Chain A
Amino acid sequence: MEQEKVTVTVNGLRYERLVEPRRLLCDFIRQDLGLPGTHVGCEHGVCGMCTVLVNGQTARSCLMFAVQADGASITTVEGVGTPSKMHPLQQAFWEKHGLQCGFCTPAMLVTALELLNHNPTPSRDEIREAISSNLCRCTGYQTIVDSVEHAATLMRGGV
């Protein structure tokens, strides 16, 4: 199949790759760029596991082709923080037990990041609204809301 050139910036690094036009953005990120932190749960746009930020906005990478991201700037969980330099969101999820199996967590983190970027002082209802796009089968969600709320506090310099 014909391949097309795609140029993207992911987590601040510029990548240039040839891909088939039908290649999904999630497979491109996971396999071609070697960033497996973004997960795939349904491949039909419902579960939200594959959420990444495309130009700062959440997008389901199972519903996008890699070629559609040409020229875009993408953030995945690998760009949020590292074990030795965790983002306050990651710290908050750790402290508030916002994860169990961890499979939904990368998507929850970037979804929460989008919210906090736009609204540093969200109410619980605003947090609920923001992350209701993503499924989690483990936690029952309550501690995820707690985590995002706590992250907002941490990011404002609170404890």
Chain B
Amino acid sequence: MTTQQTGYRWIGQSMKRVEDPRLLTGRGQYVDDIALPNMTYAAALRSPHAHARIRSIDTSKAKAVPGVILVMTGAEAAQQTGPLPCFASPPVTQYCIAVDRVRHVGEAVAAVVAESRYIAEDAADLIEVEYEPLPVVTDPEEAIRSTGDAVLHPERGPNNIALQRTLTFGPVDEDFAKADVVVRRKLRWPRSGAQPMETVGALASYDDATGKFSIYANTSMYNYVGWLMAMSLKVPAHKLNIIPTMAGGSFGSKLFTHKVPILAATLARACGRPVKYVEDRIDNIMNCDNHGSDRIYDLELALKKDGTMLSLRMTVIDDYGAYLQFGVGHHGNALAQLTGPYRIKSAQVSLTAVMTNKGQQGAYRGFGSEVNNFAVERMADAAAEALKMDPVDIRRKNFIQPDQFPYKIPTGNVYDSGNYEAVLDKALGMADYHGWRRKQHEARKEGRYVGIGLVSCQERSVFSATEFWFWNHEPGFALTSSPDSVDIKIDPTGKAFVRLHAPFWGNSPETVATQVLAEQLTIDPVDITVTYADTDSGLPGTGPGGSRYTVMIAGAIAGAAKEIKEKMFKVAAHLLEASESDLELRDGRVSVRGTDRGMSIGEIALQAHYFKLSLPADFRSGLDARYTYDHPYTTLPNADRTDMGVFYPIMGHMCHIPIIEVDIETGQIKFLKYVAVHDAGTVVNPMTLAGHIRGGTVQGIGSALYEHYYYDSSGQLLTANFADYLIPTLMEAPENIEVGHVVTPSPYTEYGIKGGGEGGRMGAPAALASAVEDALKPLGIKIDGLPIRPVLLREMIREAQQRRTEDGAAEDLQGPSDWSGRSSREHLGGPPGNAER
């Protein structure tokens, strides 16, 4: 990876991570590694029905099992603990254990606390539940028309529509009227999810004497909205302390895992002993509350004959599952970069969010914007096809130009900076794009199906708050803050302590904080230690997610460091009898510029802590600062929502070029090359950024080719384990993802950093669809839906071949001139096969 940033000592270094020594030696202290004296274990009984009334529950046999401490039903839990936090408006009621009614398979109907997890599971099996099955809704289009008992939340209205709204940005109708061509496509994005290797867990205890809960949990946002858990538990917020643990991956899915901590806390209060509840994998797949988007798109792109993109219309149905914790925030997110890197002048989105009998959506790397990228890039390819243009040329023609930034897109969001052609050109060069086009031609002559995919996608970073509510008819709790904080102290010996107010969830917050503080104070990284605040000591902290944490803690550290520098200068100026304006901080020393007179940070710290009487009278002892850094640039949406304001302006970009070969006998896809060039502004640590790009790309490959939470029509989840839900193994990943970087610093952030945490998953699914379609061009196959599982691909290939034989068509290496091919979208919905690896 090449970066072009100079002038920094630590920013831009591929420094080894400071988190690693403990993670490498089994000392990670993940949530399930924590034990408390007298600890108990919980297990839940899961609903086998997708939709049913709970008629009765008999827990007597379970209670009789030796070693069982407590058995609790939903109705019993609800006497102490209210509904779970929900950000939708109006809210959707969900409990930590279902009350009266279950709405998806796997929903908890009772919980058992016992001396061991084994006993708890034994006892859960002995609970007898009588269900009255209700009509099951799994088809999102059908959900729009549901009535009667098929309505999941009758108190919200007479149907399963969670929200329906059309937003229009700019003169869409006029622009369509001006078009020479309108390209239309229907797309299907399937439900998949983060599936980190560690599930969600909590270890809760309740102190009767103080009336206070302590919960160890692998959650995030505890210093943002953690107090909502106290509200659910019906205690004042200061009677709940959430202690973060290291998370074994999140990818969004541990953004605000409210249910597990609240369940553990409810049980702990009821039984008077610490309760550990850790989801098993099947739980996590069915109940993690963090399924990804599940969308059906109808898309129209209006263009001029020369390829100029004018306007984009989207009609989208999104299947949110049984609850709605984050409202339709995912569609707010997508508005940040609705029109991609292109100068599209107007756009319209008609959204119908529906509720069905599936696990609810939450967050997964991209939070809806990865799906928007897929839609926009599929349309760019479709337009190139329709206009017989090269996919590279049509993109280049429509790119926002470097001198047009800051650039306001039709939705009102602003892109801070970028150089999309530079990214594209770098990727084309690294991939030897033109060379591969020639090789592809040769390969086709040999009957080999090589495909070259190409996408140029936006990578919005640093989420703010308005996207969660601005789609709502009634905004609800219309918050506008999304800050992050640090507190830093320099101890009497000159060592630095940084405390973060958000957790580690697989990223590198300690490393980033160390590098930024080392840069700020010109000290050695080995002299810095980083810890995490709980909620008792927590300052405002929104935490990671939406690729925000590096930018946000860099801002917070810079702010705190500035205050510490001011204090140090005050001490040094006084003791050196110099003017503060003559001082400089360099190599860990404050000295009088141009002389050798100075003091080390350690010497200053000692004075600041112990020699009050040697210092100016107004000097307050110690050398510390706390700083809360707000999102650097946001504005409110307007009242009629024709302009959503600035809410996601720190805009990264990427070009992915996968080169693949499809084995048309098996439908198997082999990678011949994979190039990913990103622009994440100034890079703090190229090594870890490349890690996000590669890891995210392989996740995106999973989304594109293998992963699917597949529900049958009775609402059973047929992919509820790792044998059926196929996460890419090493054998499905490209051997070498070649990473490149272009730097256009953000004018709005400290050092010009942009976020890159969502990495390759923002682009890889669209890139794979593009590559597979390109490979199978001679067969007229369209990729309009994911995942492109080998078995499905094989089916489409077989049909295409049959069609050709029937048509008597000769092998036409250029592909048919009119597209009569069937698309992957029409093939979706087949049951998953697990024999495809």
Contacts and interface: CB of A to CB of B under 8 A. Distances in A.
B70 interface: no
A38 B733 contact: no
Interface stretch (B143-151, B247-255, B579-587, B625-633): B247-255
Contacts of A97: 17, 687-688, 690-691
B698 interface: yes
Contacts of A20: 118
B58 to A, nearest CB: 24
B388 interface: no
Contacts of B727: 135, 137
Interface stretch (B20-28, B173-181, B747-755): B20-28
B399 interface: no
Interface stretch (B193-201, B306-314, B379-387, B489-497): B193-201
B251 A137 contact: yes
Contacts of A10: none
B30 interface: yes
Nearest to B721: A44
A142 B33 CA distance: 28
A49 B197 contact: yes
Contact of B721 (A37, A46, A109, A142): A46
A97 to B, nearest CB: 5
Looking at chain A's contact residues, the main secondary structure is loop
Interface in B506-556: 506-508
A83 B24 CA distance: 8
A66 interface: no
A90 B25 contact: yes
A101 B506 contact: yes
B197 A136 contact: yes
A18 interface: no
A125 B117 CA distance: 40
Given A97-B691, A101-B248, A86 B21 contact: yes
Interface in B190-210: 194-199
Contacts of B731: 128, 132
A93 B24 contact: yes
Given A104-B197, A135-B729, A46 B723 contact: yes
Interface string B2-36: 00000000000000110111111111111011010
Contacts of B688: 97, 100
Task: Give the interface size bracket for A toward B.
Answer: 35 or more
A142 B701 CA distance: 14
B639 interface: no
Given A103-B248, A131-B730, A143-B691, A81 B25 contact: yes
Interface in A45-100: 46-47, 49, 76-78, 80-83, 86, 90, 93-95, 97, 99-100
B543 to A, nearest CB: 15
A35 interface: yes
Contact of B25 (A27, A30, A37, A38): A37
A141 B699 contact: no
A101 B721 contact: no
A122 interface: no
A78 B729 contact: no
Interface in B689-737: 690-691, 694-699, 721-723, 727, 729-731, 733-737
B26 A36 contact: yes
B697 A140 contact: yes
Contact of B24 (A38, A102, A128): A102
Task: Give the interface size bracket for B toward A.
Answer: 35 or more
Interface string B222-255: 0000000000000000000000001111110000
A47 B731 CA distance: 14
A123 interface: no
Contacts of A135: 197, 722, 727, 729
B280 interface: yes
Contacts of B28: 37, 102-103
A22 interface: yes
B681 to A, nearest CB: 20
A86 B20 CA distance: 11
A30 B760 CA distance: 34
Contact of A37 (B27, B505, B690, B760): B27
A141 B698 CA distance: 9
B281 interface: yes
B749 to A, nearest CB: 23
A144 B19 CA distance: 17
A39 B30 contact: yes
B26 A35 contact: yes
Interface string A8-38: 0000000000001011000100110001111
A101 B247 contact: yes
Nearest to A85: B25
A100 B687 CA distance: 11
A28 to B, nearest CB: 12
A139 interface: yes
B694 A143 contact: yes
Given A47-B722, A101-B505, A142-B694, A137 B195 contact: yes
**Which residue, of B247, B248, B698, B721, has the highest number of chain A Cβ atoms within 10 A?**
B248
B23 A102 contact: yes
16 contacts: A39-B30, A44-B722, A46-B721, A49-B197, A77-B25, A77-B26, A78-B26, A93-B20, A97-B17, A103-B198, A105-B23, A128-B731, A128-B735, A140-B691, A140-B696, A140-B760
Question: Which 8 residue pairs of A and B lie closest in terms of their CB atoms, listed nearest first?
Answer: A37-B26, A102-B23, A103-B248, A101-B506, A36-B33, A46-B722, A140-B698, A140-B694
Given A39-B32, A145-B730, 19 more contacts: A30-B32, A37-B27, A39-B30, A42-B280, A44-B723, A46-B722, A80-B25, A83-B22, A95-B16, A100-B507, A100-B508, A101-B198, A101-B249, A101-B505, A102-B19, A135-B197, A137-B196, A137-B251, A143-B691
